[in-house]
C-alpha cells in the first residue's frame, strides 16, 4: 500500500513539473543563438534564384545571375516558353496555349488527361465569355462530352461547366464563378506546374514552403517554450516573449 | 522599450567583425552537423568464440558447432547510429542461413550486455526469461527503490527482427509476430525514424513494418548469428542499399511539409521578401527587371502599400551599392576602392580602417587569382602588414599570407579564400558598410541582415531548439540541405544531390 502511494505521489509531481516546465528563453539568449547560425550567402542567393525561376521572372533571373553569380540551374529559355503558355491561358488564348504546350513537349498533355480536360474546359468558358454560344455548344459536344464519358470524375465538372449554356446572363448565374479571372489563373498555374514537372523541376518555389515551415516550427515550439517570435514575416522583427 | 535596448546592444557589434565571421564560415565545410556514422563491426566488444569476423569487419560467420541457447553470436557496430538526422538505416545480406537461419538484425544500446543479456535470441526462451527477470529484479533492488518501474526500463535496451520466425524481439520479452521470415539471399534492413520515433525494418527493399522506439539514448546497429554456418554481410552504406532510403526520406519530409502546408501565408509575402532582399543587397538590375515583371502579376494595391514606409533604409544609396558590387564582382578592386574613397570617405578613415580588413585581404587574394604573383607579394607586404598586429584578424591575415607560399594556392588550406563566392562576401561587406553610412539608420542589425536572412535564422534556431527539447534527436534545419533536397519525386533527371 505504502509503495503504491509513493508511486502516485511521484507521478503527480512529474505531471506538475511538466506543466510548469515551459522553458523561457530571453531575447539575449535567443539573439546569441541567432548569431551562431551559419547561413551562406550563396545559399540565400540560390533560394532567391529558385523563386525567380519557378515563378517565371526570366529577365530578373538573368540579371540576378549576372549580379550575384548564381547559377539558375536551368536553361532560362525554357522559362520563356513556359511563361508564354501561362500568359496565353491568363489572357484567355487557350487554343494558343495548347499549341505551345505541344510544341514544348507533346507528352505533357498526352500523359495528363486532367490537365487536358481543364484546358478544354477553359476554352469552352472563353467561348461563352465572348458570347459565341453556338460555337461553344458545338465544342462541348465534340470535345468536352467525350472526355466526360472517358472519365467519371470529369463528368460532374463537365455538367457544371455546360450549365453556362443554360443562362442568358451568365455573370449572374450560379456557376458564374467559372467566368472569374481566378478560374483562368487556376488553369494557368496547373499548366505551369505540369510543365515544371515535365522538366523534373519542383512546381512550387522553395521560399513559401520555408516560410510556412517557420510559422509551423514557431507554433510547435510555443507549446514547449517562451521565446522571441517573429510574428510579421514581412518586417522580420523579433517580438519579446510573453511570460 | 526592451526592443530599443537590445538594438543599441546590437549596434555595438562591429560590422567589420561580423563580416570576418561570415568569411570564416567558408573555411569550414557546409552542411552543419557532421556526426560520425557506423562504418564497421566492433570486434573488441562481441560475444567471442562463436563467430568469425572478416578482415574488412563487414562479414560475420557463426562457427560454433554445438547449438546451445546461450551461445549466440551478437555483434555491434563500431559506433552508435547518428541521431541528428531524419532517418538512420543499415542492411545485411544473408549469404548463408546456416543450419537454422536464426539471424537477427536490429539495435541495442550501451547498457546491453552481450554476455549476459541475450536480446531474446534464445529459442529456449521460457527457461532463460525466468533467469533474466530474476536478475533484473535483484539488480534493481540494489540500484533503485521502486523495483517495478526500473526493471522494465532496464530490459528495454534492444529491438531485433529475426530471420527464423519473422518475429520482433524487444528487450528480453517473447517475440511478437512482425513480418516474414528471411533466409539465404535475402537483404534485410533496420532503421530508426527519428521524426516518428520508430524502428522500421525492411526485407529485399520493401518495408516490413515499424514499431514505436521505446529505448532512449544512443542506439548501436547490431546483428546476431546463432547456428552453424550462418553468414551475413553488413552494409553501413558504403554500397548502395536494396531499400530506397532517399525515397523513404522524401516521403518523411513530405509528411512534415504537409503539416506545415495547412498554414496559410499572407498574400505576396514571398514576393515582398525577395524584393527587399534585392534592395538590401543592391542588386539593382535584378530589382528593376523584377518590378517590371511583377507589375503584370502582382495586384497593384499590394505594391502601392509595400513601397511605403520601412523600406527607405534599404533603398539607401542603391545605385552606389550596385556600382561598387559590380566592380568587386569583376575583380576590379582598385576601382571599387577609389569609388568608396570618393563617395564615402568616412568608411576609409583611420578609425574605421579595421573594418576594411576583409576588403584588403580579399583584394590581395584577387590579385593572386589573376596570377600576378609578384604584384601580389608586393601588395601583400604593404597592405597585409598593416593588419598583422590587430587582434582578431590574425588568422585571416595568416591565411592570406599562406596563399603566397604555394605554387597552387587553390589547393592549400587557405584555398577557400580564392573561391569565387568570396567576392560576393567582400561585396556584401562593402554593401553593409555603405548602408551603415545612412544617417537615418537606427538598427545596425538590419544593415547587416536582410529580412530573408533574419527569417532563415529564426527558422534554424526554432528547429534546433525544438530538437533540444526532444532529447536531441531528429533533424535540424539547414538551408544548404533544404535547397538540395528535392520533393519533386524521382523524375528522370531529378535532383540527385543530397
Q: Which three cell numbers stand for residue A156?
A: 460532374
CB atoms within 10 A of CB B363: 24
- Does the B41-257 domain belong in CATH 2.60.120.920? yes
Residues 6+ apart with CB under 8 A from B168: B159, B160, B161, B162, B175, B176, B177, B178, B179, B201, B209, B211
DSSP B433-498: HHHHT-TT---HHHHHS-HHHHHHHHHHHHHHHHHHHTTT-S----HHHHHH---S---TT-----
Q: What is the SS3 assignment for B280? A: helix
Contacts of range B42-45, beta carbons closer than 8 Å, 24 or more positions apart: B42/B75, B42/B76, B42/B77, B42/B78, B42/B220, B43/B75, B45/B76, B45/B114
Residue A172, min C-alpha distance to chain B (Å): 24
Work out the end-to-end distance of chain A between its first and last CA atoms, rounded to an integer number of angstroms. Answer: 41
- The reply to whether residue B293 touches residue A60, judged by beta carbons under 8 angstroms, is yes
Instruction: Give the single-character DSSP code of A142.
Output: I
Identify the residue among B140, B270, B358 best suited for mutation to test binding to A, counting A beta carbons within 10 A and taking the highest. B270
Instruction: Evaluate whether A165 touches A159 at the Cβ level (below 8 Å).
Output: no
Does B488 contact A200 at a Cβ distance shorter than 8 Å?
Answer: yes
Nearest chain A residue to B450 by CA distance is A236
pLDDT for res B299: 53
User: Residue B78: what pLDDT?
Assistant: 92
Residue of B nearest to A185 (CA): B297
User: Mean pLDDT score of chain A, rounded to an integer?
Assistant: 86
Contact A37 B290 (CB under 8 A): no
A165 to chain B nearest CA, in Å?
A: 31
Q: Do B25 and A40 touch (CB under 8 A)?
A: yes
**Beta-carbon separation of B451 and A234 below 8 A:** yes
pLDDT score for A159: 84
Q: Closest-CA residue in chain A for B311?
A: A235
List, for residues A118-170, the tens digit of each pLDDT value: 999 999 999 988 888 888 888 888 888 888 777 888 888 888 888 888 777 77
Whether residue B484 lies within 8 A of chain A, CB to CB, comes out as: no
Tell me which residue in A201, A206, A224 faces B469 most closely, judged by beta carbons: A224
What's the confidence (pLDDT) of residue B350? 41
Which residues of A are less than 8 Å from B493 in CB distance? 200
Out of A2-16, A173-187, B6-20, B137-151, which region has the weakest mean confidence (pLDDT)? B137-151
| Closest residue, chain B, to A90 (C-alpha) | B297
Q: Under an 8 A CB cutoff, do A215 and B149 touch?
A: no
Decide if B487 contacts A202 (C-beta within 8 A). Answer: yes
Higher pLDDT, A104 or B422: A104
Output the tens digit of pLDDT for each of chain B's 498 residues.
333 333 333 334 455 566 666 666 655 555 556 788 999 998 877 665 677 888 888 998 888 776 555 667 888 999 999 998 889 999 999 999 988 888 999 999 877 766 533 454 433 333 333 333 333 333 333 333 333 332 233 345 889 999 999 999 887 667 889 999 999 999 999 999 998 889 999 999 999 999 998 888 889 999 988 888 899 999 999 999 999 999 999 898 888 888 888 888 887 888 889 999 999 999 999 999 998 887 766 555 444 444 444 455 567 888 899 998 888 888 777 788 788 878 887 765 543 444 555 555 555 555 555 555 666 666 666 666 666 666 555 666 666 666 666 666 666 666 666 666 667 877 887 888 788 887 777 776 667 789 999 999 999 999 999 888 877 888 888 888 888 876 544 333 333 222
User: B479–A216: do the CB atoms touch at under 8 Å?
Assistant: no
Q: Domain segments of chain B: what residues?
A: 2-29+316-449, 41-257, 459-490
Chain-chain contact of B283 with A221 (C-beta, under 8 angstroms): no
Best mutation target among A2, A200, A215, A240 (most B Cβ atoms within 10 Å) is A200
When CB atoms are compared, the residue of A43, A200, A219 closest to B479 is A43
ipTM metric: 0.75
**Option in A200, A210, A230 nearest B494 (CB):** A200
Q: Please check whether residue A45 touches B, CB under 8 A.
A: yes
Q: Which residues in chain B (318-357) have CB-CB distances under 8 A to chain A?
A: 322, 325-326, 329
Which helix (DSSP H) or strand (DSSP E) does residue B402 occupy? helix B394-405
Residue linked to cell 563566392: B421
DSSP letter string, B59-113? EEEE---S--TT--EEEEESSPPP-SSSEEEEEEEEEE-TTT---EEEEE-TT--
Within 273-312 of B, beta carbons closer than 8 Å to A belong to 273-274, 276-278, 281, 283-290, 292-294, 297, 306, 310
Q: Tell me the C-alpha distance between B160 and B175, whole Å.
A: 9
Of A30, A41, A230, nearest to B455 by CB-CB distance is A230
H/E element holding B154? helix B147-155
**Which one of B2, B25, B450 has the shortest CB-CB distance to A38?**
B25
Q: pLDDT band at residue A60, thresholds of 50, 70 and 90?
A: very high
* pLDDT tens-digit map of B418-437: 666 667 877 887 888 788 88
Which residues have CB under 8 Å from B1's CB, separation 6+? Answer: none
Integer angstrom CA distances of residue A180 from A98, A129, A187, B78, B92: 20, 10, 12, 64, 59
The reported pTM is 0.72
Q: Do A31 and B6 touch (CB under 8 A)?
A: yes
CB-based contact, A50 to chain B, within 8 Å: yes
Q: pLDDT at position B215, please?
A: 84
Residues B123 and B165: their CA atoms lie apart, in Å, by: 10
Residues in CB range of B467: below 8 A, 6 or more apart = B84, B473, B474, B475, B476
- Asked if the Cβ–Cβ distance from A39 to B460 is below 8 Å, we say yes
Q: Is B140 at the interface with chain A, CB within 8 A?
A: no
DSSP strand pairing (B104-108 vs B87-96): unpaired
**Minimum Cα–Cα distance from A86: chain B residue:** B297
On whether any CB of chain B is under 8 Å from the CB of A9, the answer is no
Long-range contacts of B240-246 (CB under 8 A, 24+ apart): B241/B89, B241/B91, B241/B189, B241/B205, B242/B91, B242/B187, B242/B189, B242/B202, B242/B204, B242/B205, B243/B89, B243/B91, B243/B187, B243/B189, B243/B202, B243/B205, B243/B206, B243/B207, B244/B205, B245/B87, B245/B89, B245/B191, B246/B498
- A67–B contact, CB cutoff 8 A: yes
Which chain B residues contact residue A34 at CB under 8 A?
454, 457-458, 461
Q: Terminus-to-terminus CA distance in chain B, angstroms? A: 45
Cβ pair A68:B453 closer than 8 A:
no
Q: B150 at the A interface (CB within 8 A)? A: no
Q: By CA distance, what is A45's nearest residue in B?
A: B277
Which residues does B30 contact at the CB level (< 8 Å), separation at least 6?
Answer: A40, B480
Please tell me which residue, A173 or B250, carries the higher pLDDT value. Answer: B250
Amino acid at each position: 500500500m505504502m509503495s503504491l502511494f509513493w508511486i502516485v505521489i511521484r507521478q503527480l509531481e512529474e505531471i506538475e513539473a511538466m506543466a510548469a516546465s515551459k522553458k523561457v528563453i530571453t531575447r539575449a539568449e535567443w539573439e546569441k543563438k541567432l548569431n551562431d547560425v551559419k547561413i551562406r550567402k550563396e545559399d540565400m542567393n540560390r533560394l532567391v534564384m529558385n523563386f525567380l525561376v519557378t515563378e517565371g521572372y526570366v529577365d530578373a533571373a538573368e540579371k540576378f545571375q549576372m549580379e550575384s553569380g548564381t547559377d539558375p540551374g536551368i536553361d532560362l529559355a525554357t522559362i520563356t516558353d513556359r511563361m508564354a503558355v501561362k500568359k496565353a491561358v491568363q489572357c484567355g488564348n487557350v487554343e494558343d496555349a495548347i499549341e505551345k504546350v505541344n510544341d514544348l513537349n507533346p507528352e505533357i498533355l498526352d500523359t495528363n488527361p486532367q490537365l487536358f480536360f481543364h484546358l478544354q474546359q477553359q476554352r469552352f468558358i472563353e467561348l461563352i465569355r465572348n458570347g459565341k454560344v453556338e460555337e461553344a455548344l458545338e465544342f462541348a459536344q465534340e470535345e468536352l462530352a467525350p472526355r466526360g464519358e472517358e472519365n467519371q470524375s470529369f463528368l460532374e465538372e463537365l455538367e457544371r461547366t455546360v450549365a453556362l449554356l443554360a443562362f442568358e446572363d451568365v455573370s449572374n448565374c450560379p456557376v458564374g464563378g467559372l467566368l472569374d479571372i481566378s478560374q483562368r489563373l487556376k488553369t494557368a498555374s496547373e499548366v505551369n506546374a505540369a510543365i515544371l514537372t515535365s522538366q523534373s523541376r519542383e512546381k512550387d518555389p522553395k521560399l513559401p514552403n520555408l516560410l510556412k515551415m517557420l510559422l509551423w516550427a514557431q507554433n510547435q515550439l510555443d507549446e514547449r517554450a517562451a521565446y522571441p517570435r517573429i510574428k510579421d514575416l514581412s518586417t522580420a522583427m523579433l517580438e519579446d516573449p510573453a511570460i | 522599450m526592451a526592443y530599443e535596448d537590445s538594438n543599441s546592444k546590437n549596434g555595438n557589434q562591429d560590422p567589420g567583425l561580423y563580416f570576418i565571421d561570415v568569411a570564416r564560415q567558408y573555411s569550414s565545410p557546409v552542411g552543419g552537423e557532421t556526426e560520425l556514422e557506423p562504418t564497421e563491426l566492433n570486434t573488441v566488444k562481441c560475444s567471442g568464440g562463436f563467430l568469425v569476423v572478416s578482415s574488412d569487419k563487414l562479414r560475420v560467420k557463426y562457427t560454433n558447432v554445438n547449438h546451445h541457447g546461450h551461445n549466440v553470436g551478437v555483434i555491434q557496430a563500431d559506433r552508435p547510429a547518428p541521431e541528428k538526422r531524419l532517418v538512420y538505416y543499415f542492411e545485411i545480406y544473408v549469404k548463408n542461413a546456416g543450419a537454422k537461419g536464426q539471424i537477427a538484425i536490429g539495435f541495442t544500446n550501451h547498457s546491453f550486455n552481450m554476455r549476459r543479456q541475450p536480446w531474446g535470441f534464445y529459442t529456449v526462451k521460457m527457461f532463460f526469461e525466468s533467469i533474466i527477470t530474476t536478475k533484473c529484479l535483484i539488480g534493481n533492488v540494489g540500484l533503485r527503490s521502486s523495483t517495478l518501474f526500473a526493471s522494465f526500463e532496464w530490459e528495454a535496451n534492444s529491438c531485433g527482427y529475426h530471420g527464423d520466425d519473422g518475429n520482433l524481439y524487444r528487450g528480453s520479452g517473447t517475440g511478437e509476430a512482425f513480418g516474414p521470415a528471411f533466409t539465404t539471399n535475402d537483404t534485410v534492413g533496420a532503421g530508426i525514424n527519428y521524426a516518428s520515433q520508430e524502428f522500421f525494418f525492411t526485407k529485399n527493399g520493401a518495408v516490413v513494418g515499424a514499431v514505436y522506439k521505446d529505448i532512449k539514448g544512443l542506439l548501436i546497429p547490431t546483428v546476431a548469428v546463432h547456428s552453424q554456418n550462418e553468414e551475413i554481410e553488413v552494409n553501413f552504406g558504403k554500397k548502395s542499399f536494396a531499400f530506397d532510403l532517399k525515397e523513404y526520406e522524401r516521403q518523411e519530409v513530405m509528411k512534415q511539409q504537409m503539416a506545415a502546408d495547412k498554414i496559410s501565408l499572407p498574400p505576396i509575402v514571398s514576393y515582398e521578401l525577395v524584393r527587399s532582399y534585392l534592395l538590401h543587397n543592391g542588386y539593382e538590375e535584378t530589382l528593376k527587371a523584377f518590378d517590371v515583371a511583377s507589375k503584370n502579376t502582382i495586384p497593384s494595391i499590394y505594391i502601392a502599400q509595400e513601397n511605403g514606409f520601412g523600406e527607405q533604409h534599404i533603398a539607401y544609396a542603391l545605385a552606389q551599392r550596385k556600382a561598387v558590387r559590380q566592380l568587386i564582382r569583376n575583380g576590379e578592386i582598385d576601382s571599387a576602392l577609389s569609388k568608396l574613397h570618393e563617395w564615402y570617405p568616412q568608411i576609409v578613415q583611420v578609425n574605421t580602417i579595421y573594418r576594411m580588413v576583409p576588403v584588403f585581404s580579399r583584394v590581395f587574394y584577387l590579385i593572386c587569382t589573376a596570377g600576378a604573383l609578384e604584384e601580389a607579394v608586393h601588395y601583400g607586404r604593404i597592405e597585409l602588414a598593416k593588419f598583422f598586429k590587430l587582434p582578431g584578424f590574425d588568422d585571416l591575415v595568416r591565411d592570406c599570407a599562406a596563399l603566397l607560399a604555394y605554387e597552387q594556392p587553390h589547393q592549400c588550406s587557405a584555398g577557400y579564400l580564392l573561391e569565387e563566392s568570396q567576392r560576393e562576401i567582400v561585396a556584401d561587406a562593402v554593401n553593409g558598410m555603405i548602408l551603415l553610412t545612412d544617417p537615418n539608420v537606427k538598427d545596425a542589425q538590419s544593415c547587416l541582415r536582410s529580412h530573408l536572412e533574419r527569417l532563415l535564422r529564426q527558422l534554424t534556431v526554432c528547429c534546433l531548439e525544438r530538437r533540444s527539447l526532444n532529447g536531441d534527436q531528429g533533424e535540424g534545419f539547414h538551408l544548404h540541405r533544404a535547397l538540395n533536397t528535392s520533393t519533386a519525386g524521382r523524375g528522370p533527371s531529378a535532383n540527385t544531390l543530397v
